[in-house]
Copies of this chain bind each other. A is one copy, B any other.
């Protein structure tokens, strides 16, 4: 794929330098965060300032693209859709900025439509490989999803027609006194909402109150549309996800093997008496040192001894190709380093009371004692903070937790204690040290100024409660689940990016459509009960106090989109926006539901399911085993 001249390789190495990558991410985030300061803004700044920052971002992106173009052959560059996509986005953004600037200068209302494309940069830069895979997976699932979706819409239309004929002429009224099921399009929307269960059982009550038999209609509707169709959507999305994932993994393995074979062709040498070309220990060593500089000598030797099973001093093609996989296996180097205190004063650290203390700290009872302390602490946290006894007990508990950490540090070698794999030790120390700092600041402020800051108190309380989580680690059956969850954490970040991309696009569109139409008043103002818009007078949107759920800036937009993702009451939320604009605004909310809830959330569920199944059926790979065997042999 890449050029192989020395200069090109140097450029490539520079392209992948961590500083440049971090810089790129920084500018992508800055570019996305511009929404905070642009109209409608959370923190308004002059238009020229935000445009200037955007120009800087655009030039950084262009530079990155040019850099990439130098690294790979020209025809490869132009064949790759992601480069074209970036180029088009950059050009469109530039055009949009010029138009917007010109219109703004002549005081004409204009829309920054290119903001919708910003998150696509996050998708299309090389670093977003995982994210692109997720998008490809969605794209491939679309035809099948579409079939099911059309059938699902057909089913809703049929049920709506039936509802119109059954209930339309009965003169029934909804709870708010409106005519019940008389307009076909309204029925379709109401039944779509019923599929999401958001208006159950309210939508059924007028018919049910008229006759119990009508409940049958709604029960069948929910069974078919909510239970069966929604499960089928999950099945289709999941099936495509699995199929596509398998295909991707297979392709990755094939590419990796192909590249390793090419690397072998470069490094290979002929030995006398051997038919096949081989790679010597020396050049292998050089390669590994180049690829993974931070590998210890012992670790490297271990890997070599696995590859070179018969101690011949060279390896063949087959063993060489395995190298990449070998490097991927994490070997935890347990260095039985002596404790610093032992080096400082061996006689004291190795004395009988000290040894006894170390053994006590590592004993099961020690863990149990601290579990009890945590539970007692939980009760104290739950009690009223005003009581001075309770307030002062906090110092006692903090001291106990600090003592625990110190004792553990005494018994264990500090660097082993804080090694990368000891998630809970890190968690403990950070939480307790922060709690200590926050409590001290809080007490200092109280004793000096006589009042305590609400923000600092909030942090103190949160840290105090978070401390309790530690109890989970000492129960084995929980540990397995937690570990699986921690393991799928990094991949969940891909989903976080995916959802941010979609949210960002919807937020931008939503802000242009609905900004300023619904307002939230903190104090008692005349418009408070209608969200500052007469169209919302006496609407359930205003009555339920939803005024703060608006598109007036990017933060409230995101929170509103989260609420829409949770689905409940989404019909009430959308009714507010249709009331202040036009009934067709519903399409925005329906589209959001289809894309986020039906497609993306299902992918998320499929992903969690798959991660757990893999966890349940995980067996060590062959290579893993051969490495372990070798370690055992070497002792």
Contacts and interface: CB of A to CB of B under 8 A. Distances in A.
B232 A481 contact: yes
Interface in A219-246: 219, 222, 226-228, 231-232, 234-236, 238-239
A260 interface: no
A200 B161 contact: no
Interface in A465-509: 465-466, 468-469, 472, 477-478, 480-482, 485
In this complex, which of A165, A169, A466, A573 has the most chain B Cβ atoms within 10 angstroms of its Cβ?
A: A165
A462 B378 contact: no
Interface string A563-587: 1001111000100000000000000
Contact of A477 (B147, B378, B605): B147
A608 B201 contact: no
A461 B158 CA distance: 12
A215 to B, nearest CB: 5
A616 B144 CA distance: 12
Interface stretch (A111-119, A316-324, A397-405, A544-552): A544-552
Given A150-B478, A169-B385, A197-B566, A520 B209 contact: yes
A464 interface: yes
Contacts of A222: 562, 566
A130 interface: no
B566 A200 contact: yes
User: By CB atoms of chain B within 10 A, which of A184, A465, A605 has the most?
Assistant: A465
Interface in A237-266: 238-239
Given A151-B481, A548-B205, A215 B559 contact: yes
Given A197-B568, A227-B605, A232-B608, 6 more contacts: A147-B481, A151-B481, A161-B468, A197-B566, A200-B566, A226-B566
Nearest to A460: B165
A222 to B, nearest CB: 6
A558 to B, nearest CB: 9
Given A165-B464, A381-B161, A200 B151 contact: no
Interface of A: 147-148, 150-151, 154, 158, 161-162, 164-166, 169, 175, 184, 197-202, 204-205, 208-209, 212, 215, 219, 222, 226-228, 231-232, 234-236, 238-239, 378, 381-382, 385, 458, 461-462, 464-466, 468-469, 472, 477-478, 480-482, 485, 520, 522, 543-546, 548-549, 555-556, 559, 562-563, 566-569, 573, 601, 604-605, 608-609, 612-613, 616
Nearest to A476: B147
A415 B175 CA distance: 53
A482 B228 CA distance: 11
8 contacts: A148-B481, A158-B469, A162-B462, A201-B568, A212-B556, A235-B609, A235-B613, A568-B568
A212 B205 CA distance: 36
A159 to B, nearest CB: 8
Contact of A472 (B151, B198, B604): B151
A234 B607 CA distance: 12
B201 A569 contact: yes
A486 to B, nearest CB: 12
A472 B147 CA distance: 11
Contacts of A184: 382
Contacts of A175: 543-545
Contacts of A559: 208, 212, 215, 219
Contacts of A543: 175
Given A205-B548, A222-B566, A378 B215 contact: no
Nearest to A170: B454
Given A166-B461, A548-B209, A613-B235, A567 B197 contact: yes
A158 B234 contact: no
A632 to B, nearest CB: 31
B161 A382 contact: yes
- Pairs of residues from A and B, 4 with the lowest C-beta to C-beta distance, nearest first: A235-B612, A165-B461, A231-B608, A162-B465
A18 B173 CA distance: 50
A512 to B, nearest CB: 21
A272 to B, nearest CB: 52
A544 B205 contact: yes
A465 B161 contact: yes
A555 B209 CA distance: 13
A618 to B, nearest CB: 12
A149 to B, nearest CB: 11
